[in-house]
Amino acid sequence: LKKRGMKYMGTVIVYSYLQAIGIVDDHEKDCFKYSK
């Protein structure tokens, strides 16, 4: 992300990025989106 011009990368930004690219799955186990 820093290579793309971001000057500051906090924990929320990094966590949101990991969610967006599919590394982190925050859905509850009984959520219909969990298995996708």
> Given this model, what pLDDT does residue 35 score?
63
pLDDT digit string, tens, across residues 17-31: 998 888 887 777 777
- Model pLDDT, residue 34: 65
Tell me the whole-structure pTM to 2 decimals: 0.59
Least confident segment among 7-11, 18-22, 30-34: 30-34
CA 33 to chain centre: 15
**CA dihedral angle for residue 20, residue 24, residue 27, residue 30, rounded to 10 degrees:** 140
Place of tokens 């290579």: 3
**If pLDDT is split at 50, 70 and 90, which confidence band does 12 have?**
very high
